[in-house]
Structure 1
Amino acid sequence: MTDAALELAQVNIARLKFPLDSPELKDFVDALDPVNADADAAAGFVWRLQSEGGDATDVPVFGDDWLIVNMSVWRDADALTAYMYQGRHREMLARRREWFERVREAMSTLWWVPAGHRPTVAEAEARLLHLRAHGPTPYAFTLRTSFPPQGADPVAFTVPEELGCSV
Structure 2
Amino acid sequence: MPQLALYTFGVLKSPLADPTPLTREFYESGAAVYRKISQYPGYLAHAEPADGAQGELFGADWGAWGEFAVPAWYDKGRTAETTALAATLSLWTDLRPAFDAIYAGLHREALNRRYDWFERTGHPNYVFWWVSDDVTPTWQDGVRRLEHLQDHGSSPHAFTFHHAFTADGTPLTASRWRSPGPAR
Aligning the two structures, in what range does the TM-score lie when normalised by the shorter sequence? 0.7 to 0.9
Match of residue 158 from structure 1: none
What SS is found at the alignment partner of 2:26? helix
**RMSD across aligned C-alpha pairs, in angstroms?**
2.0
Tell me: CA distance 1:15–1:57, structure 2 relative to 1, closer, same or farther (3 Å).
Answer: farther
Residues 143-152 or 94-103, more deviating: 143-152
Runs ≥4 in structure 1, deviation > 4 angstroms? none
1:155 maps to which residue? none
Write out per-residue CA displacement over residues 5-57 of structure 1, whole angstroms, 9 at most, x where no aligned residue.
10110111000101113212111111122111111111100110122235x77
Equivalent residue for 1:77? 95
Counterpart of 1:16 in structure 2 is: 12
Count of residue pairs the alignment pairs up: 148
1:28 alignment partner in structure 2: 26
CA distance in 1 between partners of 2:24 and 2:96 (Å): 31
Paired residue type of 2:69: V
Change (3 A) 1:133 1:15: same
Q: Call closer, same or farther: CA 1:39–1:116 in 2, change over 3 Å.
A: farther
Partner of 2:107: 89
Corresponding residue for residue 40 of structure 1: 38
- Quick one: which of 131, 141, 150 aligns to 1:132? 150
Instruction: Provide the residue aligned with 1:118 in structure 2.
Output: 136
Q: Greater helix share, 1 or 2?
A: 1
Listed as ranges, the matches of 1:136-151 within 5 Å are 136-151=154-169
SS at match of 1:37: helix
TM-score normalised by the chain length of structure 2: 0.74
What is the identity, as a one-letter code, of the residue corresponding to 1:146? Answer: A
Q: What is the percentage of aligned positions where both structures have the same residue?
A: 29
Do residues 61 (structure 1) and 79 (structure 2) align?
no
Partner SS state of residue 150, structure 1: coil
| Paired letter, 2:44 | V
* Contact 2:15/2:85, CA 8 A, preserved across alignment: no
